[in-house]
Amino acid sequence: MKKPNDVILQTVTTVISFIIILFSINLFFAGHYTPGGGFIGGLMTAAALVLLLLAYDVKTLNTILPFDYRMMTAAGLLIAVLTGAGALLFNQPFLTHAYDYFNLPLLGETSLHTAVLFDIGVYLVVIGVTMTIIQTIGESE
Amino acid sequence: MINLPLLPILIPLLAAVILMFFPKRIKAQRFISLLAIGATIVASVVLAAEVKANGIQTVNLGSWPAPYGIPLVSDMLSVLLVLTSSILTFFVVWYAMIYMDEKYESFFFYIGVMFLLVGINGAFTTGDIFNLFVFFEVFLISSYLLIVLGGKKAQLRESIKYVLINVISSALFVTAVAYLYSVVGSLNMADISQRISELGNTGIVTVIAIFFLMVFGLKGAIVPLYFWLPGSYSAPPIPVLALFGALLTKVGVYSILRTYTLFFTQDTGYTHEILGVLALLSIVVGVIGAVAYREVKTIIIYNIVVAVGVILYGVAAMTPASLEGAVFYLLHDMVIKAALFLLVGIMIAIAGSSHLKDMGGMIRDYPRIGWTYFVAALALAGIPPLSGFIGKLLIVQGGFEAGDIVGPLLVLISSLLVLYSAMKIFMNGFWGTPKEYHGAKAKSANRLWVPAAALVLIAIFYGVGTEAIRPFITMAVEPLIDPAIYIEAVLKE
């Protein structure tokens, strides 16, 4: 059978997937004050990757984004656990967070919160788990 | 160190995460998991000493004050359970290193065990009812991995049943918590207890109590909710079975013990009566199963149901003696069930079959294993110098004090039949004419004996040193008899 030519799908995907990833990053950083956060942000990023998987295939995606998603899950968990455990160093209860206001060069006065680190962990775990599931099912015969 | 109650949860969690980075390097996996469980044991011992010296320890996670954040509460009961589970896991993992082949070990086995320990230690330590649910899910999801790992036909079939039952019971758990939250408006266990006692005796609280009994009864396998247990537990390999049999049902039993002494103390005439009847039915059904089968694994599996019944009968009687007996028996049963499963696993490894008709005369070639099993069987039945005695004695005494005659008599008769079922394995498996064995793992039998014998040794010390352990148990029972101690420690104002 001749392989169908899906040039329209692939062209649209290259544009759309960037927009989706930008939206997911926006969702991720908006989480503290507006709806959003690590879980939905990670799911959205994974959705963009799944769109790439639909338009291309598993091999192509592994060439452009050579991540090991199992390691990504482990790294996310490690970040989350260590963020919580960081409080132990200051003899505070586990998961006690700290925040402060900083004057950053471009952004001006910004509030930085250690909860973001925890959320980055969640974000990585969600992407890692989703992509591991989809890739494992996709690759099995 | 204010985070002390957290360490038995945090250490295995961190170890599990680190192990995820190199799942195929088996030597490192074995070394790190043993090291982490060892550290967990040390942390639990330090914690136990701290609780003994200074009373109940609490941590409010994230520094949020008591009813608003999630507290971790280590009273003596939870510390003893955490310590026992960590010790058991240590010896079972040691056994697994010899028993399992390398291919099996390289598929996240140790990671699964570490997460299982996180969930169990967390469930014993938490002071928040929804957090209890989360820790239940943590160890259940790890147990799904461990039950299916290996991919044999029976494992696939039984894991479907097991997952199905547990998904349903988890959904019921969430619903029960939702009901409770809509009635009292709090999730902190101490706060719930206080608010329920302010509410007084209302019908809806009794309904929720029965709801919780259904949920935890499904997890802890009481009659008539035990039906999934014999099949599901016979599927996974022996070390996993030992972990499940020793730990998983006991978390359900602990949850019943905790909720029925802390929350639902208003209408005990109804709720505790039902608990008592179900506990006695569990004893009867478990004993029937244990006597009926001639498959070594299944015999011990039905003994789990008997033990759950005996412990819960002690809880239902609600006298100081019976509660103390329940705690004694709970700890004893965790140790001895793990030891028995490990010993029976050696027999299966030698014979290459789990049916008694394929065994016989093992004592000729393996005298150490035979006599260790003999001691373990006596401890299971509760013969005086060994570990099962004092718990059952106190439960029977408590039952009589509560004015019940049928219950204590049933407990006593069940001991006899439990002894018969365990001795059946000894007489048919170790005595009699020796048979030809085709077990592939017979060579490692003597190495497998070491961790199993260590557990039996612990059971012997537990029985002989009852006088030394008793102050700890008495301290563990105090908040069960008087919830005010627990509430005051958590909400301290």
Can you give the pLDDT at residue B242? 95
Can you give the pLDDT at residue B438? 73
Are B194 and B265 in contact by the 8 Å Cβ rule? The answer is no
Chain A, nearest residue to B60 by Cα: A93
Interchain proximity A93–B21, CB inside 8 Å: no
Residues of A engaging B, defined by a Cβ cutoff of 8 Å: 70-71, 73-74, 77-78, 81, 85, 87-88, 91-97
CA separation for the pair A58, B454 (Å, rounded): 50
Interchain proximity A96–B3, CB inside 8 Å: no
Can you give the pLDDT at residue A19? 96
Can you give the pLDDT at residue B45? 96
Q: What is the SS3 string spanning chain A?
A: CCCCCCHHHHHHHHHHHHHHHHHHHHHHHHCCCCCCCHHHHHHHHHHHHHHHHHHCCHHHHHHHCCCCHHHHHHHHHHHHHHHHHHHHHCCCCCCCCCEEEEEECCCEEEEEECHHHHHHHHHHHHHHHHHHHHHHHHHCC
For chain A, give the percent of residues with pLDDT over 90.
Answer: 52
Nearest CB partner across the interface for A93, out of B14, B23, B62: B62
Are B321 and B401 in contact by the 8 Å Cβ rule? The answer is yes
Interchain proximity A95–B10, CB inside 8 Å: no
Interchain proximity B18–A78, CB inside 8 Å: yes
Q: Across-strand partners of B197?
A: none
Can you give the pLDDT at residue A98? 84
Nearest CB partner across the interface for B60, out of A70, A81, A93: A93
Can you give the pLDDT at residue B230? 92
Interchain proximity A70–B20, CB inside 8 Å: yes
Smallest Cα distance from A90 to chain B, Å: 10
Residue numbers of chain B with a pLDDT score lower than 70: 493
Q: What is the pLDDT of residues B156-209, one digit of tens each?
A: 999 999 999 999 999 999 999 999 999 999 999 999 999 999 987 788 999 999
Interface mutation vs chain B, best among A94, A118, A133, most B CBs within 10 Å: A94
Smallest Cα distance from B3 to chain A, Å: 6
Residue A101 pLDDT > 90, yes or no? no
Q: Which residues of B touch A74 (CB under 8 A)?
A: 17, 20-21
Can you give the pLDDT at residue A2? 64
- Nearest C-alpha neighbor of B88 from the set B234, B240, B226: B240
Interchain proximity A77–B6, CB inside 8 Å: no
Can you give the pLDDT at residue A1? 58
CA separation for the pair B413, B392 (Å, rounded): 12
> What's the pTM?
0.95
Can you give the pLDDT at residue B266? 83
ipTM: 0.92
Chain A, nearest residue to B59 by Cα: A93
Smallest Cα distance from B157 to chain A, Å: 20
Q: Which residues of A touch B60 (CB under 8 A)?
A: 93
Are A83 and A121 in contact by the 8 Å Cβ rule? The answer is yes
Smallest Cα distance from B63 to chain A, Å: 6
